[in-house]
Amino acid sequence: MFGNDADFILSIHRTHAAELRAEAAVDRLARALPRRTTRVWLSRRSHPVRTGDARR
């Protein structure tokens, strides 16, 4: 399949470079999408409840 060691090394380099580009594209897409927020019934934002609030 490979004529010599240089072809083999070049093939590994190209494969690794393609993997790095794919990972970078996934990271860019993840940063571009809005973060999911926790929502409850009727799309109201849920706020974290402190334990001391229930006693007041």
pLDDT of the residue at 56: 53
Q: Which residues share a beta bridge with 39?
A: 45
User: Is the entire prediction scored with pTM above 0.85?
Assistant: no
Helices (H), the chain: 5-32
pLDDT tens-digit profile, the chain (56 residues)? 678 899 999 999 999 999 999 999 999 999 998 877 666 666 666 566 666 656 55
The answer to whether the CB of 12 falls within 8 A of the CB of 20 is no
pLDDT of the residue at 15: 97
